[in-house]
Amino acid sequence: MLRSKIGGIGYYVPEKVVTNHDLMKVMDTSDEWIQERTGIVERRYAKKHEETTATMGVEAAKIAIERAGITAKDVDMIIFATLSPDYYFPGSGVLLQRMLGMNGIGALDIRNQCSGFVYGLSIADQFVKTGMYKNVLLVGSEFHSCGLDFTTRGRNVSVIFGDGAGAVVIQPTDKENQGILSTHLHADGDGAEKLAYFNPGCHGGTFLDKEKFGYPDQEYGGIFLTDKMIEDEDIYPYMEGQAVFKFAVTKFPEVIMEALETNGYTKEDIDMLIPHQANLRISQFVQHRLKLPDNKVWNNIQKYGNTTAASIPIALCEAWEAGAVKEGDLVCLAAFGSGFTWASALLRW
Ligand code: UT7
């Protein structure tokens, strides 16, 4: 069987820098609180009415496609990972396809939040190593700032997230010791309501407090998005931060070790760990647990916040551009997020 590799990689972050001090102007928070609890100093916000999740994905994709030595016409399939799509449906994949003029190829939209990129990588890997496709474009892009609660009520979530996009082209390789060695995907739906964006949705309160959300008891319609949800502002992401934190610090080391053990490696063999940029404290906990030196873990949450599906490709691209990921290096990608979902991938660069 063939093996697949990352043949090209790119990222895009919007120009607008929003510092912790900027957020202090609109909500009751402090630079000290945000830095101490998350490590974040600033993040980027996309330009409303001009940029979207799809347009940011396009910018990242153009760079990845060029670096892969192909043109947009050579792409065989698109995989688009996001939790902040342009439309509820259709997914952002077809918008990217339209903008890049790649008519006719398949566009698969996936919804695995912070694990979206690694889930997407696993899907792309299967298509390439079976020989079905030669160039799969995988994009992770997020426009969080358009859907956050910027009042004090939403501060535990809003200060964490930022906008941006990353993309890779997955291609076959015939080199013996190169490419994606394995991917590992996991989920536990018991955590579904711990980090979620409930509305609009057709759950009709099934798993939630019906009184609180005001689901009308009518035969048809009316439960997708009600006036009461809007009045009560139940239209923002919900997160039980500490529960998420606890699960993350258990699952990150587990899934990294799973990837290493599957391939007969130990943690000492890792040249670079790219963790999903959820919280600097989570990354530091994982680094400490695995006893990895600073130069083997890439962190950029300080500059971009948590960009969900975009965070791993942005961090991987930055690390590669900085020369911190080189040919022959053993690179581990690891993610954790809403679902709960978690995943890892081990690559020989
Ligand atoms: O990609 C995966 C996505 N999510 C995550 O990985 C998140 C994982 N969780 C976390 O990163 C942390 O739980 C947070 C950073 C979200 C919160 O940190 P924490 O240390 O767990 O704080 P907390 O939620 O226990 O809140 C402590 C206090 C509360 O005040 P009281 O009740 O002690 O008076 C909060 O109201 O901090 C308050 N608080 C804030 N204060 C200033 C919450 N958000 C803020 C804020 N600024 N932005």
pLDDT tens digits, one per residue of 122-165: 999 999 999 999 999 999 999 999 999 999 999 999 999 999 99
Q: How far apart are CA 277 and CA 302, in angstroms?
A: 9
306 is catalytic: yes
pLDDT of residue 220: 65
Residue of 41, 156, 158, 304 best suited for mutating to test ligand 1, as the one with most atoms within 8 Å of CB? 156
> Which residues constitute the domain of residue 291?
179-191+239-348
The domain boundary residue, chosen from 117, 142, 173 = 173
Q: How far apart are CA 186 and CA 172, in angstroms?
A: 25
Whichever domain contains 84, its CATH number is 3.40.47.10
Distance 28 CA to ligand 1 centre (A): 13
Instruction: Give CA separation, 214 vs 28, 143, 233, 234, in Å.
Output: 29, 28, 12, 10
Residue of 24, 32, 37 best suited for mutating to test ligand 1, as the one with most atoms within 8 Å of CB? 37
Instruction: Select which of 112, 184, 199, 276 is catalytic.
Output: 276
Residue 218 — very low, low, confident or very high, per pLDDT cuts 50/70/90? Answer: low
- What is the CB neighbour count within 10 angstroms for residue 238? 18
The domain boundary residue, chosen from 121, 144, 173 = 173
Decide if pLDDT at 272 tops 80: yes
Q: Do residues 334 and 252 make contact, with C-beta atoms less than 8 angstroms apart? A: yes
Task: Please report whether residue 214 resides in a domain.
Answer: no
Q: pLDDT tens digits for 112-132? A: 999 999 999 999 999 999 999
Q: pLDDT tens digits for 25-42? A: 999 999 999 999 999 999
Residue nearest to atom 17 of ligand 1 (CA): 241
Q: Report, as an integer, the average pLDDT of 196-213.
A: 78
Burial of 298 (C-beta count, 10 Å sphere; 0-12/13-18/19+): buried
CA 83 to chain centre: 8
Decide if pLDDT at 235 tops 70: yes
20 is catalytic: no
pLDDT of residue 176: 84
Residue 1 — very low, low, confident or very high, per pLDDT cuts 50/70/90? Answer: confident
Distance 251 CA to ligand 1 centre (A): 20
Residue nearest to atom 36 of ligand 1 (CA): 156
Residues 6 or more apart whose CB falls under 8 angstroms from that of 230 comprise: none
For the chain, the domain total comes to 2
- End-to-end CA gap in the chain: 19
> Which residues partner with 5 through β-bridges?
171
Helices (H) and strands (E) in the chain, counts: 12, 13
Q: Is there a single domain that holds both residue 15 and residue 119?
A: yes
The SS3 assignment for 333 reads strand
pLDDT of residue 66: 98
Task: Please report whether residue 116 resides in a domain.
Answer: yes
pLDDT of residue 202: 82
pLDDT of residue 206: 78
Q: Phi, psi (5° rounding) for residue 113? A: 50, -130
- Give the global pTM: 0.96
Q: How far apart are CA 327 and CA 123, in angstroms?
A: 23
